[in-house]
Amino acid sequence: MTKKIIVFGNQKGGTGKSTLAMHLIVSLLQKGNKVATIDVDARQGTLTRYIENREATKRENPEIRTSVHTPVFESEAETVRQMERENLQNFTELLRSLSAFDYIVVDTPGNDSNLSRIVHSFADVIITPMNESFIDLDLLVRINDSTETNIKPSIYAEMVWNQKKERIMRDKGTIDWIVLVNRMSSVASKNRTELDRVLAALARRIGFRLAKGFKERVIFRELFLSGLTLLDRNVSASQMSLSHIAARQELNDLLKALDIGGEQ
């Protein structure tokens, strides 16, 4: 099933949103889809820089596929009401201009903003990466202990819930929310086992599904500089270490779990 607007969101930086987004973008492009990308975190601009690096590499390697990219800045209107109106109008007009695309992938900032809330409300899929720690879990949901008692949704979880309601009221649409554990340590630990158990229990109660992302690997920082991903032929198996090959398998497993555009 086509899930057209895919939003990468969290209210914390450093979870790998842009890296994950770029790998999904390239996966969709390589399947022949027309893909547009939007960077709502335009001031930091990590996804924008990643795509700029890719465009530079494409000038030497024309076979590389790229998305049509738009950075979007928050309105600087004088009043809150005017700012909210401008943000909604600008984003809906942008979506209208991109209606011919098969997928629209959006990267959002690691903080709360009116524009980010608007973007979430238009999502068909929200992908929320989190690091492998209870500190990151606390940004999704507040629990007093690992027995999952006295659960209180975090500000971000409440925001997602509110935008789900906004989506239903607007067009009766639904949002598939995926929480993705990313930047995992290479060594299994008691902390990981406990975190997995708690997340599995919370998924049923709060309304998200779980996926696994990437382990912490240097290869992703290296790929950023050239705008490439593990899916690009320029990163051939003959050039890859065993760690890189393992990362590619993690990517294949992730794309299968996300179930967006089919398997790679």
Is the pLDDT at 226 greater than 50? The verdict is yes
Can you tell me the distance from the alpha carbon of 159 to that of 167, in angstroms, rounded to the nearest whole number?
12
Cβ–Cβ < 8 Å for 163, 116: no
According to DSSP, the β-strands at 35-39 and 68-71 are: parallel
Residue 264: pLDDT band with limits 50, 70, 90: very low
Give residue 18's identity as a one-letter amino acid code: S
CA torsion angle for 143, 146, 150, 153 (degrees, to 10)?
30
| CA distances (Å), origin 97, targets 16, 92, 126 | 28, 9, 21
SS3 125: strand
Q: Give the count of alpha carbons within 13 A of 260, CB side only.
A: 32
Encode 153-172 in three state secondary structure.
Answer: ECHHHHHHHHHHHHHHHHHC
* Digit-coded pLDDT (tens) for 98-129: 999 999 999 999 888 999 999 999 999 999 99
Listed range (40-54, 56-70, 82-96, 197-211) with the worst mean pLDDT: 197-211
Strand partners, 180: 129, 211
pTM: 0.89
pLDDT of residue 51: 97
User: Where in the chain are the domains?
Assistant: 5-258
Residue 261: pLDDT band with limits 50, 70, 90: low
Listed range (122-131, 171-180, 236-245) with the worst mean pLDDT: 236-245
pLDDT of residue 241: 66
- Which architecture, in CATH terms, is 5-258? 3-Layer(aba) Sandwich (3.40)
As a whole number, mean pLDDT of residues 16-42 equals: 93
Quick one: how far is CA 106 from the chain centroid? Answer: 7
